[in-house]
Structure 1
Amino acid sequence: MDALHTAGIRFAEVLQSGPPWLEKFWISVTSLADPKSIFTIFFPLAYFLDRKVGVSVLWIGLVSEWLNVVLKW
């Protein structure tokens, strides 16, 4: 487990010390992966395309947000 933790830290360091032109890319990835984007962008889009997939996206967003809050608590 310590090896996995250490590898995660090193990976984060590599990402943070990357070239400055990647900063805008990572900011856009972070904003797209924001939980509010799941409910305002991805759920309606997925629901419009396929009802079953849309409901799955909604449940995944709800469960992931609940787990995020519980694990931080």
Structure 2
Amino acid sequence: MRELRAGGELTIEEVLDQAVDAAVVCGLPALAQARTAATSDPSTAAELCLTAVPHLALAVTLASADLD
């Protein structure tokens, strides 16, 4: 991050925004699979939702980072 910021290519806020986007996108496939599985197997759907949690938690952590 320091290199991108020092080079003036991106601000630290832009880097964090992109990291948030990437973390959310990583969790979305599991949620999509859970939606499909929900009608036939709610237990599997719940397990799939849980696999998305670390990605979404990371996104929240990055989004709430205090840069001051």
Please tell me the TM-score bracket, short chain as reference.
Answer: 0.3 to 0.5
TM-score, normalised on structure 2?
Answer: 0.38
Higher relative contact order (CA 8 A, sep 6+): 2
- TM-score for both structures, normalised by structure 1: 0.36
More helix per residue: 1 or 2?
1
